[in-house]
């Protein structure tokens, strides 16, 4: 597949529609009041498997022929992609081999098992994850489905922005979290085609600012630190997502851990919905006043709601 365009994104939307939720877009009068902006939240925390990841995983699975799926699919992930791929594979009744670090949260492991994934545990290092996945693929013949550095994944993630812009037009800004860049790059492709005057911004923890550094240096930077409560954003950009982001995203902005916690608490308490820390980084940009946004019309993609309720960031 070539770099996704609006036609491949629409095709992906049609392909995955029977298997995902067209998630709601909601507002908060309180957040509107304190920010003095019209903010619309696309609630991917209400998505199947609890995050936007099911969009890309389903599109990737559905884009393969049945004979390609005979030996199953495989990936390494400790988070939302793991359960999303397991769920998507179950639709086609094929095996999903998920390499997970042995220190992965019990809740996330249970979700993968619930959706039918076979977990292979490894040491909690990137080297171990990659080497274990390589061995699994050699042993099984499974096809690797990368969490973000895959054009079918990117096209699938872009469908969230497609739904957004169909319902709420003339946005001044749209903000998504950025970790590996699948959601941000897909969003940028869709928005720049359908609403070219809308600025696309990525939000990232300041402690794990590799996407920010990559965006402004023009060279791909691996993360040198993974110390953030936004565990879904601890990964680095891939070469595919990096190239799209460089060409189509308007800015990447970093936020403090304190602002992420404040934004997460605000959404929990005022909007009465559960989001994970990685989803809170977008609102954190506004709370820290990192950009001028007064009286603007702003879209925020709440990327997911998979959080360990027994290990909340404000309880530490």
- pLDDT of the residue at 232: 83
The answer to whether residue 262 is domain-embedded is yes
Provide the domain limits for residue 97: 54-144
Rg, the chain, Cα only: 18
d(CA 75, CA 82): 7
Q: Write down which residue in 144, 167, 187 finishes a domain.
A: 144
Of all helices (H) and strands (E), which one includes residue 175?
strand 173-177
Annotation says 53 is catalytic:
yes
Q: Write down which residue in 111, 127, 144 finishes a domain.
A: 144
CATH number at residue 178: 3.40.50.1100
User: 304 and 250 share a domain?
Assistant: yes
User: 133 and 28 share a domain?
Assistant: no
- pLDDT of the residue at 256: 97
Contact 15, 62 (CB under 8 A): yes
Residue linked to tokens 């800015």:
251
Q: Please, what is the end-to-end C-alpha distance for the chain in angstroms?
A: 45
- Could you tell me the two tokens for 96? 């999903």
Q: Say what the pTM is.
A: 0.95
The answer to whether residue 1 is domain-embedded is no
Mean pLDDT by 10 residues, the chain (316 residues): 93 98 97 96 97 98 95 91 96 95 83 95 85 96 96 98 95 97 98 97 96 96 84 89 97 97 96 96 96 95 89 74
User: 212 and 251 share a domain?
Assistant: yes
Annotation says 192 is catalytic:
no
Residue of 15, 48, 53, 199 with catalytic role: 53
- pLDDT of the residue at 272: 97
- pLDDT of the residue at 38: 97
Residue of 51, 63, 77, 78 with catalytic role: 78
- pLDDT of the residue at 240: 97
- pLDDT of the residue at 316: 58
- pLDDT of the residue at 222: 85
């Amino acid at each position: 597949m070539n770099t996704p365009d609006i036609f491949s994104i629409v095709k992906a939307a049609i392909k995955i529609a029977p298997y995902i939720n067209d998630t709601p877009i909601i507002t908060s009068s309180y957040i509107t009041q304190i920010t003095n902006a019209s903010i619309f939240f696309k609630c991917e925390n209400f998505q199947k498997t609890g995050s936007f990841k099911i969009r890309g995983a389903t599109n990737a699975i559905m884009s393969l022929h049945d004979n390609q799926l005979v030996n199953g699919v495989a990936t390494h992930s400790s988070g939302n992609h793991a359960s999303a791929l397991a769920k998507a594979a179950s639709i086609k009744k094929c095996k999903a081999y998920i390499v997970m670090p042995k220190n992965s949260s019990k809740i996330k492991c249970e979700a993968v098992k619930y959706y039918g994934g076979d977990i292979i545990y490894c040491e909690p290092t990137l080297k171990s994850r990659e080497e274990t996945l390589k061995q699994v693929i050699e042993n099984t013949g499974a096809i690797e489905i990368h969490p973000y550095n895959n054009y079918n994944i990117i096209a699938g993630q872009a469908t969230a922005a497609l739904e957004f812009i169909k319902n709420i037009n003339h946005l001044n800004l749209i903000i998504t979290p950025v970790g590996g860049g699948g959601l941000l790059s897909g969003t940028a492709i869709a928005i720049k085609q359908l609403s070219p005057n809308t600025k696309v911004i990525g939000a990232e923890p300041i402690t794990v600012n590799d996407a920010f550094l990559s965006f402004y240096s023009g060279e791909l930077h691996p993360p040198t630190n993974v110390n953030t409560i936004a565990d879904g954003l601890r990964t680095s950009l891939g070469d595919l997502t990096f190239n799209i982001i460089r060409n189509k995203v308007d800015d990447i902005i970093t936020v403090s851990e304190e602002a992420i916690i404040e934004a997460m608490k605000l959404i929990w308490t005022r909007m009465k919905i559960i989001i994970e820390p990685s989803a809170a980084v977008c609102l954190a940009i506004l709370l820290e006043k990192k950009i001028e946004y007064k009286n603007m019309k702003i879209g925020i993609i709440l990327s997911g709601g998979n959080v360990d309720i027994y290990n909340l960031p404000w309880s530490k």
